[in-house]
Amino acid sequence: MNSKPQTLLSFDYGLRWIGCAVGQTITGTASGLPSLKARDGMPDWQQIGDLLKQWQPQRVIVGLPLNMDGSESEMSGRARKFANRLHGRFGIQVEMADERLSSFEARGDIIAESGSRDFKSQSVDSRSAVVILESWMRR
């Protein structure tokens, strides 16, 4: 990773919701943004363009949903396709990051913070994007 401070966006790709987070390499922390609605994995590209314009990230990190043994799944291919489209449409540098157990960790974080197991999937998706981004920055 570059030592110059960078703003980054991350996406936790899903078929119904795409979690989003923004972070800074100078602090190594990220914050969740509202999840984006998707239709069978297709986002509203205008919303993504608006996020890129607002935050002006130097790169985007997309979670790669691997199986526990490290092999790729059908969702891995779809997440890669999403990442390729991000790069193709917006010319932004995109990297993939292993997201194994990010949703599990996100649910645990939400339960620990709220004391409740009653949470919406959208909040899990954006919290997963935070986990993905912070893990990528620590590597």
In a domain, 100, yes or no: yes
pLDDT band at 105 (very low <50, low <70, confident <90, very high): low
Residue 1 is classified by DSSP as: -
CA dist 135 → 23, 27, 41, 54, 121 (Å):
11, 13, 24, 23, 21
Whether the pLDDT of residue 124 is over 80: the answer is no
The more confidently predicted of residues 37 and 108 is 37
Cα separation, 48 vs 71, in Å, equals: 28
Question: For the chain, what percent of residues have pLDDT higher than 90?
Answer: 65
CATH of the domain at 106: 3.30.420.140
In a domain, 2, yes or no: no
Q: How many separate domains does the chain show?
A: 1
Cα separation, 106 vs 131, in Å, equals: 7
pTM higher than the cut 0.75 = yes
- Domain limits at 51? 7-138
In a domain, 1, yes or no: no
CA dist 82 → 5, 69, 77, 106 (Å):
26, 23, 9, 22
How does pLDDT run across 34-87, given as a tens digit for each residue? Answer: 999 999 999 999 999 999 999 999 999 999 988 888 888 888 999 999 999 999
In a domain, 45, yes or no: yes
Residue 41 is classified by DSSP as: T
Predicted pLDDT of residue 103: 56
Predicted pLDDT of residue 69: 86
State mean pLDDT over 114-138. 75
In a domain, 56, yes or no: yes
Residues whose CB is less than 8 angstroms from the CB of residue 20 and which lie 6 or more positions away in sequence, other chains included: 9, 10, 11, 12, 32, 33, 34, 35, 36, 51, 126, 129
In a domain, 48, yes or no: yes
Whether the pLDDT of residue 17 is over 50: the answer is yes
Instruction: Give the closest residue to 34 by CA, choosing from 53, 47, 15, 24.
Output: 47
Considering the chain, what is the average pLDDT of its residues? Answer: 86
